[in-house]
Structures are given as structure tokens and as C-alpha cells.
Amino acid sequence: MKIYLDYAATTPVKKEVLDEMMPYFTEKFGNPSSVHSFGRENKKAISESRSKIANTIGAKPEEIYFTGGGSEADNWAIKGIAYAQKNKGNHIITSKIEHHAVLHTCEYLEKEGFEVTYLDVDEYGLINIDDLKDAIKENTILITIMYANNEIGTIQPIEEIAEIAKENSIVFHTDAVQAYGNKKIDVSKTPIDLLSISSHKIYGPKGIGALYIRKGVKIHPLVHGGAQERKRRAGTENTHGIVGFGKAAEIAYENLEEHNAKLIKLRDKLINELTSKIPYTKLNGHPTKRLPGNVNISFEFIEGESLLLSLDMVGIAASSGSACTSGSLDPSHVLMAIGLSHEVAHGSLRLTIGDMTTEEEIDYVIEKLPPIVDRLRQMSPLYEKVKGE
Amino acid sequence: MYSEKVMDHFMNPRNVGEIENADGVGQVGNPRCGDIMKMYLKINNNIIEDVKFKTFGCGSAIATSSMATEMIIGKTIEEALDLTNKEVANALDGLPPIKMHCSVLAEQAVKSAIYDYAKKNNLYFEGLKDFNPDEEEDHHHDHDEEY
């Protein structure tokens, strides 16, 4: 049995999506910038895809700009606004639990002379609205807060944050890479100025994403060159990627409620069973303000990588916030920010559920995981004390 | 990423457990970095008669602990002190570069347990002259992530 529970890392491309993409590799291969018919059919395909994506978030098609993925969209939003608005100020507000595409971009800008406030989060991973209000200064030019967290699934009060930014005339960007395809997003109602999304998280191809830029927001380009994307993002368009992204977005929002209901049911079953069957466990993230497919649990006294290897041996693919899996010295910055101790953060397991997940697969995990945790605990010197009590 | 031997020692670790009234007990590593190794020795006539370990850590931390215990059982204390991290890693058919520190921990766990034995019995071993049980081990990792 092979079970994939790492949908937050990436998703498979859906058959219907691939079918739409296929002609654009071979017969419909033209450069969209060309005047001839080969080019024109591509331009049309891109424009249709742009409209499909715009429709899913209540935007106008001309407010959607294709990028090479979520990381590029985040980089562009933050650097592009910082440079375009630096005559107004040099202060940026973000949070401590952003994806590295946001955090490392902010750290880069600090070296370039910008000042960044990193907001704390509470034990669930939620920012405090009063902290945000207090952090706003005369020279604040950008607030960038993620819609939903990739590790613990916590969903921020984005509407409220966006309103605060608007009241203070500050540009608001949100990294919605994890939320897109899982949340109803409407930029015609919520004053979000920029929003990053990615195709491979919603059953589309990798290497394609988009940045929504509200009409009238001044931003510098990140990639200079040709006149593509209204002169804001140069480079010959990834037509097959764009077509796939458009189709994936359309499917995601056609079936949103059904998709969410299914995922939440499986998610809560997994959370309830694992935390009740296995002692010394802790759910990371918020119990309800949470992405429908996200489960993140810390198992005390054991380390995440050995947990992942053991799960892999029985065919279960998952991920962890342990240092040994992220490749850095410390465990995940998100788990540290919600106040976990190093030991507990090292023992975290993220299982993310997707469209292809079945109840049988969830039952299989519920059956296989407890003995694995027990085996590793029996080997752990940290568990001895607890057993003795 | 891991050799078959590493996976074998991870899935079927040798000598897991504790020794009651052990002659030497050593613990190295810290929870901050995500690995702790504890080693128990039974020593008779300068020979390591039995070894048991407990490890909190990643797959290679568990595998290197297991391999190190196998490599010192039946050996003299001097022979056990000669065990290097490279020998442990080689015996496992190698470790990924970012996991070499696990083999260093295994070597230190052995030394730390012998250090405890030497201290309790007022013994001196040439092989421990450079060993400092409180020394923090230096980690080095590379970055790799998803988006």
C-alpha cells in the first residue's frame, strides 16, 4: 500500500488538467508574442486562463500576472512594493510564521536598508490584531501576512487585517499559496492589494503561479525584459503551464464546498483518533481555523525524521518540522513561534490530505502509526523518565 | 538517501535498552539539535561484555548508535576508545554528508560511557585524554525545502 499524505508539499496533476495542457507542448507550440496564427492561438489560451483564475477570486483578468510559482510571486510582491514605495517609507510588517519565500525576502530587504517588524503569533499560530495596529508607523509601506500556514494550517483573520491596512493606506499582500483552492477568496470584497498563488498545490503543473495585483497599485517589476504580462513580468509565457493552472483553478472552485467537506471529515477523524489513541501528543495549529487538509501533531520523546522513515517503510508519505528533515540546525520556525520546546518541535508530523485521499487510507494510518510511535519511544532516553512516573 | 545497512540498523537496531547497575553510563547530544544518545556498558576485566543504548534522534542517529554498540561488544576498553566516527559510518556503508555528525555522536557516546566508568573506578585511559564530556558538538546542515 502506498499512501500519499503530503498534499501541502505538492499535488499530482489531474487528468483533466493534463488533457488541456497536452496540445500546447506539440501542435500549439507558438510564442504568444508572435503575430502569426501559431502565436495568436496561444495568446488566446493565456487570456482565457487568466480570466478563469481572475473569476475564482473576484478579480479582473488584467489584475492577474503569471509567475514562475509561489516563491516568485512572494518575492515580486514584497521587493516590488518596497522599491516602488520607498519614497513613502521603508517599514514592512510581516509575521514570524511566514514561508521562507516571504521571510528571507524581508531579511534581504533589511540588508538593503528596509526595516521589518516580525509579529509574534499565539499558541495556535494566529497573529494578534492589536499587535498589528501597534506595529503600524508613519513609514509603514507594506503589510504581508500569509492567508494560511503551510505547516500548521492556521488561517489568519485576513479580512480584518486587510481592512486595517486599508484604513492606514498601507499596501497589503497575502501569501495565499496554501489557502488558494481551499478557501473562498474575494478581492472585490476584501481589500487585498496583492495575493500570491501557485498551481502545483491545486492539482496543476509545477513551475507556474500568479500574483494578483489590484489595479492602481504601484509596483516595480522583478524580471525585466520583454513586454509580456503588461510589461510587468518579462519572459516568454509558460503557455502549457498557464493553461493547466487555469483548468486546475476552475476545477478547484467548482467543487470547493464538496472538497472541503470531505477533507475536513477525514482531517478531524485523523486528528481525533491519533490524539486519543497515542498519549503525549499535541495538535499543532488551531482546531477549527485550520486548512481543511492539514493535520500537524507533535509526538513527544521522538524525533520526526525517524518517524517519517518508519512511515515510509509502511508506504505512508508525510513530512515533519524536525531539523533533520528541514536541513537546518533548529526545528521549524513556525513550531518555535507557537511556543513549542525544541524536543516537541522535533517530534512533529505533518499529514496533509487531498482530493485523492480515501477513508481507507486514513484508517490505515490510524492503524500503523501508534505502534511506530511506541517503538521509537521505547528506544528514546527521553521516554524513560515518563515511564518511571 | 540512506544505505541498506543504515535502514537495517534503524529498523532492527541491535542492543537497544538499558543495563541495570551498568559499570559506565554516558549521554551525549542535546534535545535542541534533535539527537540524544545514551549508552550503558557492562565491563569485566577491562573487556566490554555488554552494551545497550537508547537514542532520541533521526534514522542515522539510531543506526549509528546500533552499529557502534555492535563494534565494541567483546572489545577491550582501549580498543573501544580507538573506535572513530568514520569507522562507524564506513561500517554502515557511508552516511549522507549532513548526517556525519550522528557518527560523531556515536563515537562520543562510547567515550562518554567509558569516561563515566573511569571516573567511578579512578582509572586513566590514554584514549580519553582529549575527551571533554561537556563539549558541544558542532553541526553543519544544508538547506533544502519545498514551495
Whose CA is closest to A293, among A264, A334, A258, A252?
A264
Q: Taking the CB of residue A302, how many other CB atoms lie within 10 A of it?
A: 29
Tell me the ipTM for this assembly: 0.90
Contacts for B107 with CB less than 8 Å, ≥ 6 apart: B68, B83, B84, B85, B88
Residue A389 has pLDDT above 70, yes or no: no
C-alpha dist (Å) from residue A35 to A30, A39, A41, A201, B1: 10, 6, 10, 34, 49
Residue B100 distance to chain A (closest CA, Å): 12
Residue A253 distance to chain B (closest CA, Å): 22
Task: Write down the pLDDT at residue B145.
Answer: 43
A67-110: pLDDT as tens digits: 999 999 999 999 999 999 999 999 999 999 999 999 999 999 99
Specify the pTM.
0.93
Is any Cβ of chain A less than 8 angstroms from the Cβ of B61? yes
Task: Write down the pLDDT at residue A324.
Answer: 66
Q: Which fold has domain B4-119?
A: Sufe protein. Chain: A (3.90.1010)
Residue A379 to residue B62, Cβ atoms within 8 A: yes
Q: Taking the CB of residue B84, how many other CB atoms lie within 10 A of it?
A: 11
Residue B139 has pLDDT above 80, yes or no: no
Is any Cβ of chain B less than 8 angstroms from the Cβ of A371? no
B142 band by pLDDT with thresholds 50, 70 and 90: very low
Task: Write down the pLDDT at residue B144.
Answer: 42
A251-306: pLDDT as tens digits: 999 999 999 999 999 999 999 999 999 999 999 999 999 999 999 999 999 999 99
Choice among A94-98, A177-181, A319-323, B104-108 with the minimum mean pLDDT: A319-323
Task: Identify the three-state secondary structure at position B73.
Answer: coil
Task: Write down the pLDDT at residue A387.
Answer: 66
Residue A306 to residue B7, Cβ atoms within 8 A: no
Lateral strand order in the sheet of B24-30: B24-30, B35-44, B47-56
Is any Cβ of chain A less than 8 angstroms from the Cβ of B101? no
Residue A326 distance to chain B (closest CA, Å): 7
B65-102: pLDDT as tens digits: 999 999 999 999 999 999 999 999 999 999 999 899 89
